[in-house]
Amino acid sequence: MRARLFAIAALFLAAAGSIAATAPAAAQEKVVRLTSLDWPPFSGESQKDQGAAVAVVRAAFAAVGYRLEVSFFPWNRAVALVKADGGPDGYFPEYDGGEVRQGFHLSVPLGTSPLGFAERSAAPVAWASLDDLKAKRIGVVDGYVNTDELDARIADGRLQGETAPSDLLNLKKLAAGRIDLAVIDRAVMNDLLRTVPELKAAAPTLRFNPAVLEDKSLHIAFRKDARGEAMAKLFAEGLAKIDATLILQQALGS
């Protein structure tokens, strides 16, 4: 009888140890890890709620019982980390595009924002087709997806593209007359002109060109594996449970 009790106790302890060993793994499954960049007002470590896009993504995952962890890096590194073995689950905010879809599971849109050109108010650019911009020096941010057509024309030399590491530097170059246009998200441009002291003097001389390139949807680019696909589905489920438009508008102050 005593031997039987010892055997039962041993089995109980083994089962308890097994449960304890698997508990951290189960907990980890309720965390989604994403990378992002300093891209106010949508994302940024120093932003309220870490930015408008982060606020939406966090709320969506919370609605399905997941906790969001975001790490911030320069854009190219944020993307590269997700591509690496054992990297984070995805990165955001990302625009839709053929190249992105080839390498990642793209989530449903978490919101939209107009993409276009910043220009000098004293030198406005009238254009109806990208062919009208052949003589213009166009600033783009290294590693950013813009539109398939614009990116293709810059890549093959039909348009004059000049890369810079950030939207901020492009706006500085534009104000100084070193480029004629800068590709930029309208909300990002407005935020930079409003909050960056270095642009205070230039702000009245810059404006957003009225001809919009595209009303771009914002997404999470998840790893192209089974977990990434599952996370994309969970995000869609969570997003359907919240008012993403209201959260985005409140975070953007619009």
Tell whether the torsion through CA atoms of 97, 103, 106 and 111 is positive or negative.
negative
- Given a cut of 90, whether residue 251 has pLDDT beyond it is no
Question: Would the pLDDT of 26 be above 80?
Answer: no
What ranges make up the beta strands (E) of the chain?
Answer: 31-36, 67-72, 90-95, 104-106, 111-120, 137-141, 160-164, 181-185, 206-208, 214-223
**Residue scoring higher pLDDT (22 or 96):** 96
Query: In sequence order, which residues have a C-beta less than 8 Å from that of residue 173 and are 6 or more positions away?
Result: 139, 162, 164, 179, 182
Q: How many degrees, rounded to 5, is the angle at CA 47 between CA 46 and CA 48?
A: 125
pLDDT band at 229 (very low <50, low <70, confident <90, very high): very high
Strand 90-95 and strand 214-223: the pairing is: antiparallel
- Is 80 exposed, middle or buried, given 0-12, 13-18 or 19+ CB atoms closer than 10 A? middle
What global pTM score does this model have? 0.81
Neighbours of 88 (CB within 10 A): 19
- Beta bridge partners, 102, equal none
Q: What is the pLDDT of residue 254?
A: 57
Residue 23 reports pLDDT greater than 90: no
Q: Does domain 113-215 have CATH number 1.10.150.170?
A: no
**pLDDT value of residue 249:** 78
Residue range(s) in the chain whose domain bears CATH number 3.40.190.10: 12-16+25-112+217-252, 113-215
Q: Which CATH superfamily is domain 12-16+25-112+217-252 in?
A: Periplasmic binding protein-like II (3.40.190.10)
Average pLDDT over residues 203-218: 96
What is residue 245's predicted lDDT score, i.e. its pLDDT?
A: 86
Q: What is the pLDDT of residue 29?
A: 63
Under a CB-based contact definition with an 8 Å cutoff, are residues 110 and 118 in contact? no
Query: What average pLDDT does range 227-251 have in this prediction?
Result: 92
pLDDT of residue 247: 87
